Amino acid sequence: MLNMMRITLKGVFRDRVFQGIMALAVLFLFIPSAASLSMRQVTELSVTLSLSLISFILLLLSVFLGGTSLWRDIERRYTFGVLSLPLSRSSYILGRFLGLALFLVLVSVVLGVAACVAVNVASSLYPADRPVVWSFVALALVYATLKYILLVAVALLLSTVSTSFFLPVFGTICTFLASGISQQVYEYVHSAAAVQTVSPLFRQVVTAVYYLIPNLAGFDLKINAIYSVAPNPRGLALTACYFLAYTAILLAGSIFLFNRREMK
Amino acid sequence: MYALEICGLAKTFKGKKMRTVEALKGLNLCVEPGEVLGFLGPNGAGKSTTIKCLMGLLRPTRGSATIQGRDISSAEARRSVGYLPENPAFYDYLNAEEYLLFVGRAFGMAPELLAQRTEEMLKLLELWEHRKRLIRTYSKGMVQRVGLAQVLLHDPDIYILDEPMSGLDPIGRALVKEIILDLKKRGKCVFFSTHITDDVEKICDRVAVINKGQLLVVDSVQNILQQGTEGYTVTVVAGDGRREEVFVTTDRLQSFIRDAAGESRSIEKIEPRRKDMEAFFLEIVAR
Amino acid sequence: MALLVAGLLAYAAVIGPFTAYMRDKPMEEKLGYVPSVKVMKSVSVDQKELAGASLVFKVLMYYGTLMGQAPKGTILKDPGDLQGMSRLLHGAVQLDPYNMDAYYFAQGILTWDAHQYQVANALLDYGMKYRNWDWFLPFFAGFNNAYFLKDYKKAAHYYDLAGDLSGEPLYKSLASRYMQESGQTDLAIAYLSGMVKTAKNDAVRKSYQLRLQAFLEVSRIEKARDRFARERGGMPASLEDLVRSGYLKPAPVDPYGGTFYLEPDGKVATTSKFAFGAKKK
């Protein structure tokens, strides 16, 4: 498993993904000047822009790395060589997952440092009314990383049943979009206003979907980092547990499906 | 204990439009340790399907198989096997050395042994100078050699090679033949698929012929060649020293020798004239 | 190769007019259509703060061009698409209820330009639920209540809150000091000079400065008028009287390009009707 993880990481680095990210990270240089456009919240805006940029990069990585890594192995027939080794399929999947997860962690650490520098520059130019609480920024980064690691697991699960990269890539994007609105839709169909207009069946379907797709809204601690609002510790603990449980289910599902997958 | 034991192995693929394709129809085959068995069959006969089932890449629909007594459903069964896929492809973002290290670790080899064996294999297969180049820059023949290196790396007892000579130039084919003969000398079991009869004739102890998912014949190469004897070409030297070649059918050979002795003609050479493996193969498959 | 050359030529031919077209597009178009907040909320997924900030910037850019286009000394009759700006700002705070820029800017345009004091106060109340540490929002609300709505009780409550949050006793005294009708101009001047000092954005500062200038002139006229009344025992008949009699030197200039005059009851007004003079009755 560690072996597989090492190979995964090596592959990501050899494919120059990291260099690509560094190219995108040049945008951090512009954050202080972009943030100074703000009228009343330069520091806050610099934190917003930094966290948004990191989120966006992590999203791209999780969707494309997660969605293509299995597909590529199968498509290019690497799996014949690898899965015929005395290596169980579960350790193959877990190794892939952990390798990608570790890469996301690495990226967010590197980008996190860059973001801190950018925010520091911005806040030294225009001191904020409310000083930045760095631990909140770090927490927001940690939870953003967890969120995208979960998304990698979604992509892997979809990869185990798919023969092309369309399903994993677009399925993951759809999951991500749906995860952002599931809470809203759920609350709407259960609201008093919707009682007349929404049929009970539809309500049940929505409820089922709500529990099925990941709820990623809880991982978003940007507000807390940007405006230095203390996050709710119980909420954080629950979100972490949710992450562990949901990822475990996704991985178990991926292993189950991949074990049944035939390498034609 | 057999090196490989295949019992009633069957594989049905679900095709499009609810059609099913029976790729394997209850295959039974045992391979002894130390034996080189050629798995001969035309394209699409089920050779690769059999091998992929053995390597855990496909799940058999029915039947079972063991490798050194271990059921193929567990990853452990593959620990004593070196497998060369058909037209292999390896992580092309690695170099040959890194790939071998990856394979060696998967087999749980000790680091010192692994480093030593990696060097040996790279040198044996003439990849040593290219070991730091990424596999994506390799030619087809070089990739095949990487495949052989990863097969030999952990010195297993059983070798399962899927079309090891396909797509190789004459030098490459000679190298593969040499390697298999060397393995045979060292008492290893080699099970390889091919559709080239000549290879089988030259290196195999036994041959198994498969067509349309069914095993047709399993016999020793010697037997097959023997059975295929149609007669003999006898070179006779007459009293005056004149040489003559005569064709004699098998049933007439004894009387011919007796007659020759009576007529004071000496027999210089008796050569069996037989159908070769190719003719044999074509005959069986056509049956 | 030929295709590349043809493409480059076509691009060179088109890019000039295209850029000009985009630049000269009417401003109303530039503010553009923004999808409903519900849609934006769904699409922005975990980038709601960024979406909110971008909406504010859209408004700010629009406002900036508006201010930049107005020639100096002319009457700024058209305050722009106020409704559109208000809609965008409301959208922004729904996406990110903490976005201070949105409140700050909304306070500026909703009160002085759009005269929608209740809307402004509702927005500020909404913001106070989230930015519960920020003294700016109650400070704005206090000013709106005191100056525009004349609801001194509410104003005092907000000023108290602003004082508590900022730890500055000034805001508490503000309440008592300016809570009479006569103190209105001073109240506005105090508020506006504070805004000019803290404004970072040029367009915004320019607009506040203009207004502050106008109010300083009004204040000057008012002081002269009061001195005239004290010393001569009666209101001056007209602004010209004040200037001619030497109480008001130099003659007042309306930065909005209008002319100041005295209403029959002695109140200072201007022909440019810069919002407050005309509406305040």
Look at residue C276 in the predicted model and tell me its pLDDT: 38
Per-residue pLDDT of chain B (287 residues; tens, 9 = 90+): 888 899 888 998 887 777 888 888 888 999 988 899 999 888 888 899 999 999 999 999 999 999 998 998 888 889 999 999 988 999 989 999 999 999 999 999 999 999 999 999 999 888 999 999 999 999 888 898 899 999 999 999 999 999 888 878 888 888 889 999 999 999 999 999 988 888 888 888 998 988 888 888 888 888 887 777 777 888 888 777 788 888 888 778 888 888 877 777 788 888 877 777 777 788 777 77
Which of the other chains make 3 or more beta carbon contacts under 8 angstroms with chain B? Answer: A
State yes or no: chains B and A have 3 or more CB pairs below 8 A: yes
Residue C182 confidence class, pLDDT cut points 50, 70, 90: low
User: By the 8 A CB rule, do B9 and B63 touch?
Assistant: yes
- Between chain A and chain B, the number of residue pairs with CB atoms below 8 A apart is 76
What lies within 8 Å, CB to CB, of B36 at 6+ separation is B180, B183, B184, B189, B190, B192, B203, B204, B205, B206
Question: What global pTM score does this model have?
Answer: 0.81
Give me the residues of A, 45-74, that contact C with CB < 8 A. Answer: 45, 48-49, 51-52, 55-56
Helix, strand, coil share of chain C (percent; to 5): 70, 0, 30
Closest C-alpha among A194, A186, A234 to residue A213: A186
Distance between CA atoms of residues A213 and C63, nearest Å: 42
Q: Which residue of A has its CA nearest to B48?
A: A264
Residues C226-254 have a mean pLDDT of 81
Write the Ramachandran bin of C36: left for phi over 0, alpha for psi from -120 to 50, otherwise beta.
beta
Residue C278 confidence class, pLDDT cut points 50, 70, 90: very low
Q: Between chains, do A226 and C98 touch, taking CB under 8 Å as contact?
A: yes
Q: Between chains, do A40 and C101 touch, taking CB under 8 Å as contact?
A: yes
Of the partner residues B55, B93, B108, the one whose CB lies closest to the CB of residue A84: B55
Residue C33: strand, helix, or coil: coil
Look at residue C274 in the predicted model and tell me its pLDDT: 59
* Cβ-based contacts of B85 with chain A (< 8 Å): 77, 80-81, 84
What are the contacts of C274-277 at 24+ separation with CB within 8 A? C274/C211, C274/C214, C275/C112, C275/C113, C275/C115, C276/C112, C276/C188, C277/C218
The CA distance from A13 to the nearest CA of chain B, in Å, is 9
* Cβ-based contacts of A78 with chain B (< 8 Å): 89-91
Q: Between chains, do A222 and C136 touch, taking CB under 8 Å as contact?
A: no
User: By the 8 A CB rule, do B24 and B49 touch?
Assistant: yes
Topology (CATH level 3) of domain C33-69+79-132: 1.25.40
Look at residue B97 in the predicted model and tell me its pLDDT: 92
Distance between CA atoms of residues B67 and B81, nearest Å: 8
Q: Which residue of C has its CA nearest to A179?
A: C45
CA distances from B275 to B41, B218, B284, C168, C217 (A): 18, 18, 12, 111, 120
Query: Taking the CA atoms of chain C, what radius of gyration do you get in angstroms?
Result: 23
φ and ψ of C256, to 5 deg: -85, 0
Which of the other chains make 3 or more beta carbon contacts under 8 angstroms with chain C? Answer: A
Look at residue B180 in the predicted model and tell me its pLDDT: 92
State yes or no: chains C and A have 3 or more CB pairs below 8 A: yes
Q: Between chains, do A48 and C53 touch, taking CB under 8 Å as contact?
A: yes
User: By the 8 A CB rule, do B115 and B98 touch?
Assistant: no
Q: Between chains, do B78 and A11 touch, taking CB under 8 Å as contact?
A: no
Strand partners, B24: B11
- Mode of pairing for the β-strands spanning B243-249 and B229-237: antiparallel
* Cβ atoms within 10 Å of B1's Cβ, excluding its own: 8
**CB-based contact (8 Å) between A163 and chain B?**
no
Q: Between chains, do A260 and B92 touch, taking CB under 8 Å as contact?
A: no
**CB-based contact (8 Å) between A193 and chain C?**
no
Q: Between chains, do C98 and A227 touch, taking CB under 8 Å as contact?
A: yes
Number of independent structural domains in chain A? 1
How many degrees, rounded to 5, is the angle at CA B120 between CA B117 and CA B125? 125
The CA distance from A16 to the nearest CA of chain B, in Å, is 10
Kindly give the residue spans of alpha helices, DSSP state H, lying in B159-264.
170-185, 197-203, 221-227, 253-262
The CA distance from A69 to the nearest CA of chain B, in Å, is 12
The pLDDT tens digits for C190-228 are 778 777 777 777 777 787 888 888 888 888 888 888 888
Judged on CB neighbours under 10 Å (0-12, 13-18, 19+), B4 is: buried
Token pair of B263 as six digits = 């007529």
Q: Between chains, do C42 and A42 touch, taking CB under 8 Å as contact?
A: no
Mutation pick from C36, C45, C58, C134 vs chain A, by most beta carbons of A within 10 Å, is C45
User: By the 8 A CB rule, do B166 and B87 touch?
Assistant: yes
- Between chain A and chain C, the number of residue pairs with CB atoms below 8 A apart is 76
Q: Between chains, do B57 and A79 touch, taking CB under 8 Å as contact?
A: yes
* Cβ-based contacts of A216 with chain C (< 8 Å): 46
Look at residue B53 in the predicted model and tell me its pLDDT: 92
Give the number of residues written for chain B: 287
Look at residue C280 in the predicted model and tell me its pLDDT: 34
Q: In chain C, pLDDT over 70 holds for what percent of residues?
A: 80
Q: Between chains, do B106 and A3 touch, taking CB under 8 Å as contact?
A: yes
Provide the domain limits for residue A151.
2-260
Residue ranges of chain A whose pLDDT lies below 70: none
Look at residue C281 in the predicted model and tell me its pLDDT: 30
Which of the other chains make 3 or more beta carbon contacts under 8 angstroms with chain A? Answer: B, C
Q: Between chains, do B89 and A80 touch, taking CB under 8 Å as contact?
A: yes
Token pair of B85 as six digits = 């896929």
Strand partners, B161: B84, B192
Q: Between chains, do B92 and A83 touch, taking CB under 8 Å as contact?
A: no
The pLDDT tens digits for B5-44 are 998 889 988 877 778 888 888 889 999 888 999 998 888 8
Largest CA distance in chain B: 78
